[in-house]
A = this chain, B = another copy of it.
Amino acid sequence: MPKLGMEPIRKDALVRATIAEIGRAGSLDVTVAQIARRAGMSSALAHHYFGSKEQIFLAAMRHVLSLYGAEVRGALAAADGPRGRLVALIRANFASGSFRRETISAWLNFYVLARTLPDAARLLRVYQRRLQSNLVHDLRPLVGARAEAVAARIGALIDGVYLREALKAGAPDRATAAGMVLASLEREIGGPA
């Protein structure tokens, strides 16, 4: 069984298990043993690879944020024109990779984590800044000087939609969620988005 190069495989399994467990528990009150068990290894091995529970959580955050980033980049690359890119960007925020039950739960809990771990706060700020700059880039041609303010409102609305989704039961409704933000965009830039 012991092969070489297990580290990335194990780490990846642990990161996925962490997100799944946070999703299941709905909070950060998950034990390393639970995470490790789901990832198919002993908790000792989890510590061997990550050093501490904190680092496991941070790795899970980075994973979620990096999946999200890839989703956004892919969407933007396939879109044309400011309006088209804005729509694609907003839709990407609610794409199937990110806007799923467990990820929404993880996201909410990362905000809590950020109140304790400076590194977690930093990661979330990076996410917010990127979203803001992406929005501003394509809002500028449409709303000029108002771009910054509009982007801030849309960014906050996206977070709010996530937060409210976390309270609902059942599977997340991507279309409705994205629709809310797209409608807001429409009101901000005028005309149908």
List the interface of chain A (C-beta within 8 A of B).
25-28, 105, 108-109, 111-116, 121, 124-125, 128, 149, 152-153, 155-161, 163-164, 166-167, 180, 183-184, 187-188
Residue of B nearest to A188 (CB): B187
- The answer to whether A183 and B121 have CB atoms under 8 Å apart is no
Copies in the complex: 4
Chain B contacts of A125 at CB under 8 A?
167
Q: Determine the main DSSP class of A at the interface with B.
A: helix
Residue of B nearest to A114 (CB): B167
- The answer to whether A116 and B152 have CB atoms under 8 Å apart is no
Known: A111-B166, A111-B167, A167-B114. A156 touches B157 (CB 8 A): yes
Given contacts A153-B157, A160-B163, 20 further A-B contacts (CB under 8 A): A25-B116, A26-B112, A27-B28, A27-B112, A105-B115, A109-B112, A111-B166, A114-B166, A115-B166, A149-B180, A152-B180, A153-B180, A153-B183, A153-B184, A156-B160, A156-B161, A156-B163, A160-B160, A187-B187, A187-B188
